[in-house]
């Protein structure tokens, strides 16, 4: 921080860090971070999957619009669920990859199966294009890739959260002090 003509000047990094610290405890801030991470990841990846399943462009557009609304409803609960499952299973950054995969899959996949089916149906309804074959193909691809998506999305959400100053679901273990070793040999 420098002072120039009685005016405080902060670097962009300092301003960002101060903004994150001031807001990280607020519920709406956590909500908006989790929702926007879902928008960035799932809107892109599932839109591409739907195009690969030869879904018409209007239906993909409508499905993604519905997805933005659905993510606004479910991404914070998914983020909260990831936190709780990681805490309950004692999964940390140092845990085996399989344990981290379980946390992400358990928090995301069950919700995603129902939500994605509803989004696809809504997209067909909004466009009037009742393409059952491409919709079934898109849903099948979505469910077959749900676990891999959850494996990618979990770490992406954690990095995104850290960028915005919010604790990730899968955290690093704190370094134990020397007293811990003395008390628990």
Average pLDDT over residues 64-70: 88
Max Cα–Cα distance, the chain, nearest Å: 69
Residue 129 burial (C-beta neighbours within 10 Å; 0-12, 13-18, 19+): middle
pLDDT at 147 over 70: yes
Q: Residue 104 has which token pair? A: 């992400």
Give the pLDDT band (50/70/90) at residue 6: low
The mean of the pLDDT values for the chain is 83
pTM, full prediction: 0.72
**H-helix segments, 5-145:** 12-23, 27-52, 57-89, 97-127, 132-144
Domain boundaries along the sequence of the chain? 24-171
Average pLDDT over residues 129-139: 82
pLDDT at 77 over 50: yes
């Amino acid at each position: 921080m420098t002072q120039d003509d009685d005016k405080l000047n902060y670097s962009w990094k300092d301003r960002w860090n101060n903004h994150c610290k001031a807001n990280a405890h607020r519920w709406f801030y956590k909500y908006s971070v989790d929702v926007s991470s879902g928008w960035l990841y799932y809107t892109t990846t599932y839109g591409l999957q739907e195009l690969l399943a030869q879904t018409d462009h209007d239906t993909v557009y409508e499905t993604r619009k519905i997805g933005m609304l659905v993510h606004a409803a479910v991404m914070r609960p998914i983020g909260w669920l990831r936190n709780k499952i990681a805490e309950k299973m004692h999964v940390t950054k140092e845990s085996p990859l399989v344990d981290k995969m379980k946390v992400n899959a358990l928090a995301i996949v069950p919700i995603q199966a129902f939500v994605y089916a509803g989004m696809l149906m809504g997209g067909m309804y909004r466009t009037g294009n009742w393409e059952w074959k491409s919709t079934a193909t898109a849903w099948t691809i979505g469910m077959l890739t749900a676990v891999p998506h959850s494996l990618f999305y979990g770490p992406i959400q954690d990095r995104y959260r850290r960028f915005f100053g919010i604790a990730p679901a899968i955290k690093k273990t704190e370094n134990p002090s020397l007293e811990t070793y003395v008390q628990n040999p």
